[in-house]
Amino acid sequence: MIWAREETLPRAEIEKIQLARLTETVARVYGKVPAYRAKMDAAGVKPEDVKTLGDLQKLPFTTKQDLRDNYPFGLFAVPRKQLRRIHASSGTTGKPTVVGYTQNDLDVWRECVARIAVAAGARDDDVAQICFGYGMFTGALGLHNGLEKVGAAVVPSSTGNTQKQLMYMKDFETTLLVATPSYAMRIAEVAQEIGLDPKKDLRVHTFVLGSELMTEAMRRGLRKVWGEDINITQNYGMSELMGPGVSGECLELCGMHINEDHFIAEVIDPKTGEVLAPGEKGELVVTCITKEALPLIRYRTRDITRLMYEPCACGRTTARMENLSGRTDDMLKIRGVNVFPSQIEEALINTDGIGPNYEIVVDRKDFADLLTLKVEVEAENMMDSYTALEKLEHGIKAKMRLALGLDVRVELVSPNTLKRFEGKAKRVTDLRKAGNESV
């Protein structure tokens, strides 16, 4: 099922809509947002210089720092009175990033989320449980409103108290779950601990996952515990751009369809800022072309992906972005080699005898970077067999050497000993940043 006509337009028609909305947006921000006008003036570009979609490249980028510099409402293009909602994303340091919505922005948001939810398999007879933290975070309310629009019965169970979540899931016969991939895994683990088989005792058949990168290894792990024939898709968004609803995977699982009548996506070389050709991998840059309250121009997401324009078997004609390979911020430099945590997760695929949870610790010892990978063995009794442990350790080391070109330390630990997460999993600890170099 496809939710909206806009998802199936011929390329030329999509681009016509994009251009009309882009020129309108650029003129509006230039007139209403002093910070944008100053940046455009400094770059020597006027709204009338944007005549084609290619002219987008003339415009300066917007970064998270711009949002911080204009905290809280400096980049807003409407008077306070027109705002209907304010969200914020937690900043790890300092002030959060603040985003606002007019009534029209909220309507568009619902529409965009309805599209990606339907692409993910959501239907009007679903019971949809939202296991995202409510509050200032855009993820929970975004999915909540979009799924209501689809016609699902929404259960706003939020995060925490996994046993109670499971009680709702069983008693309400929940069919659709919104969560981070790591929490979807954790829920299955707790179900098994209390004697429930997620495949037989629960009715969940559709997972709409987000807010954290999902590798194919994680998808396979989820299928193993929840069932081979269930829908598991991920979707993409960020508060600054809208929240969830920017793009999402369809059931063909070949990248995330972008809501191109609301967003223009580009991929750039993160070092030079140069726009890359379709299919080339780089940093995703997004321009919001329908947002009234906070229309960001060429926002640098720091997420690494590539764009695909080939037709999709699902019937949608919108461009797709490849599932993320990481964030430019997440990239670790280990002895001069660029390493993404997702590469490590991918390399752990199909390793028998280990669980899905892992931790990466980077430290510096004797002036050399040291990457330690902590992995849980699958069964407790394995911890007693030195030979089995040694074999497993050697196997993982060899896989890492092949995938990363690096020697890593592997530490095998007992099942259920690594930290579990209800929201975004934090799998990397970089002790080098803390400045406590252990020599």
Q: Which residue has the tokens 């947006």?
A: 25
Residues 250-289 interacting with Zn ion (rule: CB under 5 A) = 250, 252
Between 254 and 276, whose beta carbon lies closer to Zn ion?
A: 254
Q: How far is the CB of 314 from Zn ion (least distance, A)?
A: 3
Site stretch for Zn ion (CB under 5 A), options 15-23, 108-116, 192-200, 244-252: 244-252
User: Which string of b and e fits 207-223 if b means at least 16 CB within 10 Å?
Assistant: bbbbbbbbbebbbebbe
Q: How far is the CB of 255 from Zn ion (least distance, A)?
A: 8
Q: Which residue has the tokens 């040291």?
A: 370
Site stretch for Zn ion (CB under 5 A), options 154-162, 247-255, 288-296, 350-358: 247-255
Q: How many residues bind Zn ion (CB under 5 A)?
A: 5
Helix or strand holding residue 114 (H, E): helix 103-119
Please check whether residue 99 is in contact with residue 107, taking contact to mean a CB–CB distance below 8 angstroms.
no
Q: How far is the CB of 119 from Zn ion (least distance, A)?
A: 7
The Cβ-side half-sphere exposure at 178, using a 13 Å CA radius, reads: 34
Q: How far is the CB of 320 from Zn ion (least distance, A)?
A: 7
The mark string for 386-415 relative to Zn ion (x by CB under 5 A, - otherwise) is: ------------------------------
Q: How far is the CB of 312 from Zn ion (least distance, A)?
A: 3
Vertex 165 angle, CA 418 and 249, to 5°: 80
Question: For residue 112, which of 90, 79, 142, 138 has the smallest C-alpha distance?
Answer: 142
Q: How far is the CB of 121 from Zn ion (least distance, A)?
A: 12
Residues 293-312 interacting with Zn ion (rule: CB under 5 A) = 312
**Alpha carbon distance 33, 124 (integer Å):** 40
Site stretch for Zn ion (CB under 5 A), options 43-51, 231-239, 248-256, 325-333: 248-256
Between 146 and 423, whose beta carbon lies closer to Zn ion?
A: 146
Q: How far is the CB of 420 from Zn ion (least distance, A)?
A: 33
Residues 312-331 interacting with Zn ion (rule: CB under 5 A) = 312, 314, 316
**Alpha carbon distance 272, 274 (integer Å):** 5
Site stretch for Zn ion (CB under 5 A), options 214-222, 242-250, 265-273, 396-404: 242-250
The residues that bridge with 88 in the sheet, in sequence order, are 98
Between 309 and 379, whose beta carbon lies closer to Zn ion?
A: 309
Between 234 and 357, whose beta carbon lies closer to Zn ion?
A: 234
Q: How far is the CB of 250 from Zn ion (least distance, A)?
A: 3
Between 251 and 431, whose beta carbon lies closer to Zn ion?
A: 251
**Alpha carbon distance 345, 83 (integer Å):** 42
Between 250 and 296, whose beta carbon lies closer to Zn ion?
A: 250
The mark string for 196-235 relative to Zn ion (x by CB under 5 A, - otherwise) is: ----------------------------------------
Site stretch for Zn ion (CB under 5 A), options 14-22, 48-56, 98-106, 243-251: 243-251
**Alpha carbon distance 387, 372 (integer Å):** 21
Question: For residue 4, which of 20, 19, 21, 17 has the smallest C-alpha distance?
Answer: 17
Burial of 400 (0-12, 13-18, 19+ CB in 10 A): buried
Return the SS3 of 53. Answer: helix
Between 31 and 315, whose beta carbon lies closer to Zn ion?
A: 315
Between 241 and 312, whose beta carbon lies closer to Zn ion?
A: 312
Residues 34-93 interacting with Zn ion (rule: CB under 5 A) = none
Between 110 and 316, whose beta carbon lies closer to Zn ion?
A: 316
Between 250 and 307, whose beta carbon lies closer to Zn ion?
A: 250
Helices 11-32 and 34-43, interaxial angle, to 10°? 110
Q: How far is the CB of 318 from Zn ion (least distance, A)?
A: 8
Helices 216-226 and 181-193, interaxial angle, to 10°? 30
Distant-in-sequence, close-in-space partners of 54: CB < 8 Å, separation ≥ 6: none
Tokens of residue 197, six digits: 């088989």
Between 2 and 35, whose beta carbon lies closer to Zn ion?
A: 2
Q: How far is the CB of 83 from Zn ion (least distance, A)?
A: 34
Give the CA distances from residue 187 to residues 183, 224, 230, 265, 325, in Å, rounded to whole numbers and listed in that order: 6, 13, 16, 34, 25
Q: How far is the CB of 233 from Zn ion (least distance, A)?
A: 10
Binding footprint of Zn ion on the chain (CB under 5 A): 250, 252, 312, 314, 316
